[in-house]
Structure 1
């Protein structure tokens, strides 16, 4: 699954049973409509990237098949913004150099693309423009989470104090993510009032993260829309839908680059001097919790040489 209403299918092993990819796509659309009454769009291609573009172009109720031999020609006529991973900033960097279409990427010297997008980003976009996308369809998903929560010695009604606690918890969650080699695609907030009424709110991130600042900002956004009708007894932050670090397609522009460097420095200081050696100035003050124990057992640590093979 890519989202709640979108998924990739690898039909390479189903041709003998069900026919060509195009026939399977038509059967799928017919079955969805027959069983749910809903329409859907389907893109068929040799790679995930091109199939995603084809599906987008055929919305809301269409089918677009791009044969492998026609992939380069299909991509060439598209605007650069159609490529997966090119956002507004990357598009502006390319367009300022006269590169507006994928065809322009194909004819431009590769160093020009890399100067505009960085070496790694330029290499990746050059590959996508060629129709090269080695990523496999992932058929399994691990539903794991990492969380911390605090039960206060005295119930708290001050929003500022609660935001500070969320920052503290988010940093601890992020540190455990980085230690284990994980990134989170979702963030959840847990809040319990003085009368033990408990609320949970969650959201999906645009990109997986292990950055404390990003997790904290997301948790605070979830918190700020809640009505503090009474003091709070417990508050918690949880990172959900975890995946090994680095498996997602990297964004060409990392808005959290500075915060990643801060986290790396904090991790180094904690390793050398202990967990309480360094913290945010905004969370300094008397402890309000009774232990702030993790909400779940410690996850297995991934090997240092990268994510497990599949």
Structure 2
């Protein structure tokens, strides 16, 4: 255990939703839900205003709409999220060579390894400066937790939310943990929590005071030992600079069950091609091809084939995926398909028996374009709520909604007041998709697409979130 809170956990608050609110002045302070918008869509992130109505991540979008019918439901804009994540991770890398990203919006940092903090006050100062820097460069709030262990640092960042900083003073770890529910401990999910509850163990203090043998009996040797150790505030896991990917995969969920066998084969071939593209972009190859199928009744199965050597060849991956899907009965309907490659390596081994012909997708079944789009969960011309557009006369804006041959656009940018709404035919030649507008000048300077010209009526404005600093008792 360290003697200073030099492990920092950064978590961007409601990241996707916060980006959308920062991008769209008309949505600030209002419920925003980002995720899949089709009948089988799932919430990726909900703003704090939406969470008041019970909307949570991983909730079906249809259920979220019932709970919060007046919210703004938007599709994700991953290109913008990744750009913001790059800026944040660059700032973390300036603090230490040991940065462990967990996702686009979350990471651990070992401040001691970077020599920027050795004491409580130095660690607090680094956290405060980091939050201000991220706000200035991205326009977004971030919460920071500081502690002597990874577990406590992550718990501290949860305590800091939203938009704050929380530091666990050395020696107070067990006091901080004691009143928390057992679900606060990593690896304690609903099933484990229920097992502990039936044994009369509902708080972390209850678990810390329990006999180790009792926990081993309830949870098994490995899990029981880990839970007992964490409940006493002990966590010896180091911050790891790089986390090795074990697989690369892509999958699609369809709004309507796919029953046409030839269409299933076509979709698997396309997924295999996308998977190969991701492999090559990452400079990796793999030995095992995996196909995932979720049927109409939610039953899920996987089939895999291990090749003689690692490959990133789309032909080889597509052929393996085709053999695998051929052995699966899809006649009752498919709601999800996926293709992945595991057993990753940094090199390829040519398959002497692979076809040398260029990749070719199987011929599509005879089906109208509209039916194909609906089956794939796509919308015509990409006029999906939340996406960026530009109009030759009115400038940059975003799609507020579309349907019945019309598309409604709100014209505003991150630095403008809430903009006006206009409706156009979906075929309006002056309206076109656009790159995301940068949230800040810093983003524009570091490679974000150049801002489109604004109508003269738009003026700048903005606000600053609260600055908060808290410590454990």
- State the Cα distance separating 1:189 from its structure 2 match: 3.0
Give the Cα–Cα distance (whole angstroms) in 1 for the partners of residues 173 and 344 of structure 2.
Answer: 45
Aligned to 2:191: 89
The match for 2:218 is: 116
- Measure how far apart 1:164 and its partner are: 7.8
CA distance in structure 2 between the aligned counterparts of 1:17 and 1:102, rounded to whole angstroms: 29
Match of 1:5 in 2: 105
TM-fit CA distance, 1:35:
1.4
Q: CA contact under 8 A between 2:135 and 2:141: conserved in structure 1?
A: yes
- SS across alignment from 1:8: strand
The two structures have a TM-score, normalised by structure 2, of 0.36
Contact 1:165 1:283 in 2 (8 A): no
Deviation at 1:116, TM superposition (A): 1.9
Provide the C-alpha distance between the structure 2 equivalents of 1:91 and 1:164, rounded to a whole number of angstroms: 42
Q: Distance in 2 between matches of 1:116 and 1:106?
A: 14
Residues of 2 paired with 1:166 and 1:135: CA distance?
A: 42
**Greater CA drift, 10-19 or 110-119:** 10-19
Superposition pairs for residues 37-48 of structure 1, below 5 Å?
37-48=139-150
What residue is the counterpart of 1:15 in the other structure?
116
Match of 1:206 in 2: none
**TM-superposed deviation, 1:190:** 3.8
CA contact 2:108–2:239 (8 Å) conserved in 1? yes
Separation (CA, whole Å) in 2 of partners of 1:64 and 1:135: 20
- For the 8 Å contact 2:291–2:324, the answer to whether it is kept is no
What CA deviation, in whole Å up to 9, does each residue of 1:45-71 have, x standing for no partner? 011111011101211111110022111
Change (3 A) 1:103 1:281: same
Q: From the superposition, tell whether residues 75 and 298 of structure 1 become closer, same or farther in structure 2 (CA, over 3 Å).
A: closer
Matched, 1:189 2:290: no
Pairing 1:1-310 to 2, within 5 Å after superposition: 1-13=101-113, 14-15=115-116, 20-142=122-244, 159-160=260-261, 189-190=271-272, 216-217=291-292, 220=293, 283=327, 299=345
Displacement after TM superposition at 1:163 (Å): 5.3
More helix by share: 1
Q: What's the CA shift string for 1:76-122, capped at 9, x where partnerless?
A: 11110111111111110101111000000111111211222211101
1:178 is matched with which residue? none
Quote the RMSD (CA, aligned, Å): 4.8
Structure 1 residues not aligned, in runs of 5+: 149-156, 170-187, 193-197, 202-210, 225-255, 268-275, 286-293, 302-310
The residue that corresponds to 2:50 in the other structure is none
Q: Which runs of 5+ in 2 are unaligned?
A: 1-100, 251-257, 279-287, 307-319, 330-339, 348-473
- Structure 1 residues 77 and 298: alpha-carbon distance in aligned structure 2, compared to 1, 3 A threshold: closer
Structure with greater proportional strand content: 2
State the distance in 2 between where 1:87 and 1:295 align.
29
Residues 174-218 of structure 1 show CA distances to partners (whole Å, capped at 9, x for unaligned) of xxxxxxxxxxxxxx93469xxxxx9989xxxxxxxxx99xx644x
Instruction: Tell me if structure 1 keeps the 8 A contact 2:229–2:235.
Output: yes
For the pair shown, which has the larger CA radius of gyration, 1 or 2? Answer: 2
